[in-house]
Amino acid sequence: MLIKTDVIVLKKSKFGEGEAILTLFSKKLGKVKAVAKGWKKGKGKNSTTIQPFLYGEAVLFKGKNLYQISQMDLKNSFYKLQEDVIKLGYASYILELTESIIIEGQTNNRLFETLIEVLTEFLSKKSDFITLVKAYEMKLLVYAGYKPEMNICVCCGSSELDKVKFSSRQGGIICRKCFNTDPYAMNISTITMNVIVYLMRTELSQIAKLKIKEEIRKELDKIIKNYIYTQIDKSEFKSLIFLEAIETLK
């Protein structure tokens, strides 16, 4: 049976001579692996090579073990991301993070549309892509079922939040009475709490116009990264290791 669906290529690995296995995020099927036959290493913005970031409409055929791509109509290759190595690194992290969290065979159309939107915003010179990464992380957590509790104590339900910490293990903020439930809970400022809520609730087009202050961004980055690592039981992302290496060369 042939299935026509919008897809974005999250990952690609060589498979035999002239073939590749692609990890696709599709609208109708969720995350699937598919074989692309006859792929080649192309160059230039008009290359038809199927690479990560490519967004298009694919016709898939279910084989014995994997899907096969019988046709791909390009909608956007996001080729211009390659013009900025830092921006490309963060965009690669977005794909790697998405691939790590979404479940094979489970559709998530809100997240699919958000992924296309954030990559499109990355191409805009007016957008602050660092802020966009933080926004996408939070929306991904929400749409994938990992939304952190930010309004009440996640342990006891108290709304008395004069002093709180953020617990990655418990899944949100904890009040002073519950600090003993997680000795690794992190300090979090009221501003950062408000920023997290804002990023979860606000449209990307509005967030793209903003720039988070450096001190708030650092606290936000530390908390979100720790939360993601804890929730999905992952210790590192290759794209972030690459970005850290680039930073040390500056």
Question: Which homologous superfamily is 81-250 in?
Answer: Recombination protein O, C-terminal domain (1.20.1440.120)
| Cα-Cα-Cα-Cα dihedral sign, residues 110, 116, 117, 122 | positive
Going by the DSSP 8-state scheme, the letter that residue 47 receives in this structure is -
Which amino acid is it at 69? Answer: I
pLDDT of res. 47: 44
| Confidence category of residue 43, pLDDT binned at 50, 70, 90 | very low
Q: What is the rounded average pLDDT for all residues in the chain?
A: 90
pLDDT digits (tens, 9 = 90+) for 70-107: 888 999 999 999 999 999 999 999 999 999 999 998 99
pLDDT of res. 249: 73
pLDDT of res. 235: 79
For residue 13, what are the β-bridge partners?
21
Mean pLDDT across 171-175:
97
pLDDT of res. 38: 65
Type and span of the H or E element at 92? helix 85-101
pLDDT of res. 13: 86
pLDDT digits (tens, 9 = 90+) for 3-31: 999 999 999 987 767 788 999 999 999 99
Considering only 29-33, 145-149, 159-163, which range has the smallest mean pLDDT? 159-163
pLDDT of res. 208: 86
The C-alpha angle 125, 129, 132, rounded to 5 degrees, equals 130
Mean pLDDT across 154-174:
95
CA of residue 14 relative to chain centroid, distance: 23
Q: Cα separation of 235 and 152, whole Å?
A: 28
pLDDT of res. 230: 94
Give the CA distances from residue 17 to residues 14, 36, 126, 166, in Å, rounded to whole numbers and listed in that order: 8, 11, 42, 50
pLDDT digits (tens, 9 = 90+) for 198-209: 999 999 989 988
Percent of the chain with pLDDT over 70: 94
Q: Is the pLDDT of residue 44 over 80?
A: no
Q: What residue segments make up the domains of the chain, in order of their start?
A: 1-77, 81-250
231 vs 48: which has the higher pLDDT: 231
pLDDT of res. 48: 54
Domain 1-77: top CATH class: mainly beta
